[in-house]
Amino acid sequence: MRNSRGVVIQKIVLPATPRRPVTAKMRQENISVTMSAWYSQPRDVTSPDSARVEAFLRAAPFADSLPVTAELFVTPDRTLWVLDGHTPGESSWSATGFRTDGAIVGRLRADRGGLPVAFGNDRVVLKSTDKDGVVKLATYRFRIAGKQ
């Protein structure tokens, strides 16, 4: 981490985890999510047709693996939660919590309920969207060993 002058003030070393390879199924899911967003947007006569957009997406290069991290969240008690890399539409997730001194306070994993959009000191807010586009936010409590 750097201060406002750009000087390194602290380093946090993430646990060694292998990067997840991007599979053909993940790539197809990404194209499907992008095309769903395309179909939901208003278009006019100057917009390219959907077949051209999909062909462009299929021909575009893509990464061979997911990023190690996706998002960072900081709680009121200054715990940093680092969300592991994931694909669009994926409902399983993992996150690692760090104290301000860089020590790991915990690891959370879930395979349902959506993806995290916020963390509190002892809870996480998950967002999911159903097939009709209805968004659901749910708060789940968790316990970190050694914390009251």
Looking at the fold, whether 77 and 93 belong to one and the same domain comes out as yes
Give domain status of residue 9, yes or no. Answer: no
One domain, residues 73 and 29: no
Position 148 scores a pLDDT of 57
In one letter, which amino acid is 3?
N
* One domain, residues 31 and 58: yes
Give the model's pLDDT for residue 15: 67
Q: Is 6 helix (H, G, I), strand (E, B) or coil?
A: coil
> Can you give the pLDDT at residue 75?
96
Q: Are residues 106 and 141 in the same domain?
A: yes
Q: Is the predicted pLDDT of residue 114 greater than 70, yes or no? A: yes
- In terms of C-beta distances under 8 Å and separation of at least 24 residues, what long-range contacts does 135-143 make, across chains too? 138/113, 138/114, 140/110, 140/113, 142/106, 142/108
Closest Cα partner for 71 from 136, 125, 140, 139? 125
Between 47 and 106, name the one with better pLDDT. Answer: 106
pTM above 0.85, yes or no: no
In this prediction, residues 110-128 reach a mean pLDDT of 92
Label residue 30 by pLDDT band (50, 70, 90).
Answer: confident
Shared-domain flag, residues 39 and 58: yes
How distant, in Å, are the alpha carbons of 8, 34, 92, 114, 128 from that of 111? 36, 23, 4, 8, 12
Q: Domain range spanning residue 39? A: 23-64
- Distant-in-sequence contacts of 96-99, Cβ < 8 A, 24+ apart: 96/14, 96/15, 97/144, 98/12
The span from the CA of 90 to the CA of 25, in Å, is 11
- Residue 18 domain flag: no
Looking at the DSSP bridge assignments, the partners of residue 115 are: 127
How far is it, in rounded angstroms, from Cα 139 to Cα 118?
9
Indicate if 73 and 91 belong to the same structural domain: yes
- Tell me which of 40, 64, 88 is where a domain ends: 64
The answer on 126 and 107 residing in a single domain is yes
